[in-house]
Amino acid sequence: MATRSTIAIKHGNIIKAIYCHWDGYIEHNGFILDRFYQASPKVNNLIALGNLSSLGADIGEKHDFHDKLEHIEIENITHVSTQCTFYQRDRGEEKAEFRTFSSEEAWMDYYDGSGVEYYYLYDKGVWYVSEYRKTFKPLNELVTKLIDEAINNGV
């Protein structure tokens, strides 16, 4: 079963967003965004390529949609693909481009119909996350907490 998410960047009052089908939970997509997508140009490049099947540690290059990709381990907590898999770039699907919204509310309203559970927003150099449209929280704080818990539990 997929854990759907949406990943967005805010430019003033404009939000550019994409959908991601797999592994949207904080322990996976949250880790990847927090660790590998900290620069605004890289986030913009990610969004520019449109909707994702799966988020990887790097944007990567065009590949066959069904290829098994190399994986890496992050903080002994999760394994992630070395590169992203996009619907348009890697599968050739049309109409998988990013979408633009005039407000956070409009962005979240649109993706509610897609079964999205996690809303990731990059704003002024900081990642935020909202689970099921609850309050946005700084992603780094949640990732740090997960790492601390894993260390304390001997993972």
Query: Any residues with CB less than 8 A from the CB of 47 and at least 6 apart, and which?
Result: 7, 8, 9, 16, 17, 18, 98
Do 9 and 55 touch, CB atoms closer than 8 A? no
Write down the pTM of the prediction.
Answer: 0.91
Do 18 and 7 touch, CB atoms closer than 8 A? yes
Q: Tell me how many degrees the CA angle 11-38-58 measures, rounded to the nearest 5.
A: 110
The arithmetic mean of pLDDT across residues 149-153, rounded, is 76
Q: Which amino acid is at 121?
A: L
- Half-sphere exposure at residue 83, Cβ-oriented, CA atoms within 13 angstroms: 17
* pLDDT tens readout for residues 61-85: 998 887 777 777 766 666 678 899 9
Closest residue by Cα to residue 144 from 18, 35, 50, 71: 35
Residue 122 has pLDDT above 90, yes or no: yes
Residue 55 is encoded by which pair of tokens? 């988020």
